[in-house]
Amino acid sequence: MNEHEFQFRVRQHLNTSARQVSPSVANRLHEARQKALARQKVTVRGFSLAGVGQAFTERALPRGRTAIAMLLILLVAVGSGLLGEMQRMAELEEVDSALLSDDLPIDAYLDQGFDAWVQNDLPE
């Protein structure tokens, strides 16, 4: 038996029992309920537009949390990729700066393996 079926059966039993209550007991219960409602402080926890709020909190909110979590995971993945690319670019900038600032001796430019080394470090 699932929860919905259980609720349906309980409601049916309560309705059947409520029809069998004598009018004097029903009046006393009604008066007691009215007194309790008069004393009760109403606290609103969410939307209450004829069940729209309940439907929103039961159905849309859990899915919204899942969507937000997925979006955050996606942002972290993209951010991680961008950070890695930025670090790679910084390394290439260091090599370019060393080449442009003439920190390398002239023999390095004349070396046959130097061109191969530069070609291997270039992005594809």
Single-letter code of the amino acid located at 87: Q
- How far CA 80 is from CA of 68, 71, 91, in Å, comes to 18, 14, 17
Q: What angle do CA 28, 44, 18 make, to 5 degrees?
A: 25
Low-confidence ranges of the chain (pLDDT < 50): none
Q: 29: Cβ–Cβ under 8 A, 6 or more apart, which residues?
A: 21
Q: For residue 89, which of 118, 121, 62, 57 has the smallest C-alpha distance?
A: 121
Answer whether 47's CB lies under 8 Å from 53's CB.
yes
CB atoms within 10 A of CB 104: 13
Rounded to two decimals, what is the model's pTM?
0.34
pLDDT tens sequence across 46-74: 555 666 666 666 776 677 777 788 889 99
